[in-house]
Amino acid sequence: MRDKEDQRVDDSRRTWLIATSVAGGFGGVAAVIPFASSLAPSEKAKAAGAPVEVDISDLKPGDMKTVAWRGKPVWIINRTDAMLAEVVKADDEVADPHTEKPFSIPLPAYCNNEYRSRADHKNILVAVAVCTHLGCTPTPRFQSGPQANLPNDWPGGFLCPCHGSTYDLAGRVFKNKPAPQNLDIPRYMFTSATTIVIGKDEQGEA
């Protein structure tokens, strides 16, 4: 009699343990699914890294506009012939005239030239506006000549307000400045005469 009663208790306990284990397993799976989903990039994160299309039809010679790409400011500058001439003059004054030591992204092959722009739109400079010293945003100082915090023979370019690094009108850093490298040039392409896509070119997305 005692053996039968013990057997019923054991069977009951075994059934309870199996049921608990199964329920726990489902609970574990249910807990893992949301966790695994949280590892996937959000739509906002995906959008932050997506290419950016920019209309430059309103960008007059000498003007600049700033857009955001991957959480960073990117300049688009329509350089005048005079500004391009200043780039040529600055060749001997910049630390890395041919961008042999890029900062955080490789220089696109189609921008591997004096103006660091596409040959068919050499007047348009597209550059990441992040100082290569400590990450501040330089300010445009396009006017050439003597002015505050700049040399008397200033050719026009950009001045970082944080520690005084200066860049020419192609985003190349001048010699003997805190910033060690030129400004980054992202991959980009023209999809029409007045539309640029930043973060994408003929090879695909950056």
pLDDT at 13: 52
pLDDT at 148: 87
Residues of the chain with pLDDT under 50: 1-9, 16-42, 45-46
pLDDT at 47: 55
Report whether 160 contacts 136 (CB < 8 A).
yes
Same domain? For 56 and 30 the reply is no
Same domain? For 31 and 61 the reply is no
**CATH number, domain containing residue 182:** 2.102.10.10
| CA 62 – CA 135 distance, rounded (Å) | 25
Same domain? For 102 and 186 the reply is yes
| CA 118 – CA 104 distance, rounded (Å) | 20
Give the residue numbers spanning the domain of 194: 47-205
- For the stretch 134-175, pLDDT in tens is 999 999 999 889 988 898 989 999 999 999 999 999 999 999
Report whether 206 contacts 186 (CB < 8 A).
yes
pLDDT at 45: 45
pLDDT at 40: 43
**CA 78, 83, 89, 94 torsion-angle sign:** negative
Torsion of CA 26, 28, 34, 40, to 10 degrees: -120
Same domain? For 98 and 15 the reply is no
| CA 182 – CA 168 distance, rounded (Å) | 9
Residue 155, Cβ neighbours under 10 Å: how many?
21
